[in-house]
Chains A and B, each alone.
Chain A
Amino acid sequence: MLTAAALCPAAPLLARELTGADPVVPELRQACREAADALVQSDPDVIVVIGAGEQTRTWDDDRARLNLSPYAPGPGPALAAAESVPLPLGLGGRLLDEAGYHGRRELQEAGADEPAAACAALGASLAQRAPRVALLVMADGSARRGVKAPGYLDERSAGFDAEVGRAIRDGDLRALLTLDAALARELMATGRPAWQVLAGAADGARPTSVVRYDDDPFGVAYLVASLTVR
């Protein structure tokens, strides 16, 4: 069953080397490190990293590599595409590495268009992997939270992200299953499938939560939180 979860954004700039000389968001990275540390310390049998991508599939952890070169090409060798995982999973894997986690790990991609019911079913199956399953959920809110945001301003983004934040804070994960996939796509809220996998894994349990970061410094909603199921 699900015993713990951590939420972190899947933004490329989480990788320190992508922001140049300026760390830009040190407090966001610190919050993610704390969330990953707490997850590792929850004594899980397995940690599943979950993130949205092109299609729903599981990646082989032995071959999975974070590949930043598609985002930051430069002089020097690039990883072959076949050896690299989608960015959310790569960033999540790195967080676990940095937290010193050497236990069993799985990398699960959820298709960006996967409907809520399929995400919930996937989450339920992940929760059966072991007696103590922990999820590292790499997910972002709307990228349309202001006129300088990547997707420009969509007034609906504030309400959408507020509802996600409320559900996480209150441990009301079932509410995440009612998020409208079409609206999420319009709002460029790429985290929708991953949140719904989390909701499916929780199977109605109401975890307690600690929110470690909740801001949108570049017009994209970043939420870092730790959830514990008692």
Chain B
Amino acid sequence: MNSPRDRPDGPDASGMLRLGKHAFAPGQPLIMAIVNRTPDSFFQPGATWSESAALDRVDQAIAEGADIIDVGGIPAAPGSDVGVAEEIGRIAGFIAAIRSRYPDIVISVDTWRHETGRAACEAGADLINDSWGGFDEQLAEVAGELGAGLVCAHVGSQRPRTRPFRVAYPDVMADVLAQTLRQANRALAVGVLPDRIVLDPAHDFGKNTWHSLEVTRRLAELTATGWPVLVSLSNKDFVGESLDLPPEHRLSGTLAATAVSAWHGARIFRVHQVRESRQVVDMVATIRGDRPPARTVRGLA
């Protein structure tokens, strides 16, 4: 059974996505709530820097319908260095605290470092959100070894915590497909289970606004691979530049992009605002016919 012929070479045929104790079917949109253990992230900086505030945010997110809690200890933007020990210190104990309070919730860790991924999984994380696209190749190996899920993100040629500068692609969507599928295949090769691999086109990462808009417009090409697709759209610059709005006023634009992505078949939505996002993805799932309406009597009495 271990011959290369038998090794899985693509997504799970049933389309099931298994994270932690859960199995999620296609057509069941999942909300991943962002809880940053940072003093300096771009949206509501420092809001969940203290552990008590962060745990309150987790309580609120789960009450509002979050399926996954995504914990990160380093902002995406450049800034003061956060070493491995500092990063682990920010998130590992906190993940353990979430796990003890919510034994069944799916927990994900947003990191590019394998040491942090290992510490997070040992503390209770189920999914490694490798948001810098396989920069540290050992991160996928940690996911394979520990049975965790892995998010494979497209970042072009960006290194962690760098901004795009005059990036250009002959075809950005082709690059997204090639880079994420290459990572998914490598994840399979190092033992990550096929029903635990997720692709993320990573809006704004290694992309200008035109690129992120194109990726949104053509997202169906990524969902057509059969791999579950995660989108991280929440309050990002491509929304801000489209509508000329600062981060605190990007919710409507975020939800519009969320609806389009849901229509194209994205399955995980990484968000700051859980309640509004939950309503949007559930509504789109209902329009698609993936989810029944909650209660229908209008015209039926």
Interface residues, chain A, with chain B CB atoms under 8 Å away? 11-12, 18, 20, 22, 70-75, 78, 81, 87, 143, 147, 149-152, 188
Contacts and interface: CB of A to CB of B under 8 A. Distances in A.
Interface stretch (B6-14, B127-135, B205-213): B205-213
A143 B210 CA distance: 20
A9 B285 CA distance: 48
Given A151-B162, A152-B163, A70 B170 contact: yes
Main secondary structure of the interface of B (DSSP, over half): loop
Contact of A18 (B167, B169, B210): B210
B166 A87 contact: yes
B171 interface: yes
Nearest to A12: B166
Interface string B76-111: 001100000000000000000000000000000000
Main secondary structure of the interface of A (DSSP, over half): loop
A87 B168 contact: yes
B164 A22 contact: no
Contact of B169 (A70, A75, A152): A70
B166 A73 contact: no
Nearest to B77: A152
A23 to B, nearest CB: 13
A22 B173 CA distance: 26
Given A73-B169, A81-B170, A151 B163 contact: yes
Contacts of B165: 143, 150-151, 188
Interface of B: 78-79, 162-173, 208, 210-211, 213-214, 217, 241, 244
Contacts of A20: 241
Given A81-B170, A87-B168, A73 B214 contact: yes
A22 B240 CA distance: 13
Contacts of A78: 171
Contacts of A149: 163
Nearest to B172: A73
A81 B171 CA distance: 10
B210 A73 contact: yes
Contacts of B167: 71
A184 B210 CA distance: 28
Contact of B163 (A72, A87, A150): A150
A76 to B, nearest CB: 11
A147 B165 CA distance: 14
Contacts of B170: 70, 81
Given A20-B241, A22-B244, A152-B78, A74 B166 contact: no
A71 B214 contact: no
A36 B181 CA distance: 46
B77 to A, nearest CB: 8
23 contacts: A12-B166, A22-B244, A70-B169, A70-B170, A71-B167, A71-B208, A72-B210, A73-B172, A73-B173, A73-B210, A74-B213, A74-B214, A81-B170, A87-B166, A143-B165, A147-B78, A149-B163, A150-B163, A150-B164, A151-B162, A152-B78, A152-B79, A152-B163
Given A74-B214, A150-B163, 12 more contacts: A11-B166, A12-B166, A12-B208, A18-B210, A22-B244, A73-B173, A73-B214, A75-B217, A78-B171, A87-B168, A147-B78, A150-B165
A20 B213 CA distance: 13
Contacts of A81: 170
B121 to A, nearest CB: 31
B149 to A, nearest CB: 30
Interface centre among B79, B165, B171, B217 (most CB of A within 10 A): B165
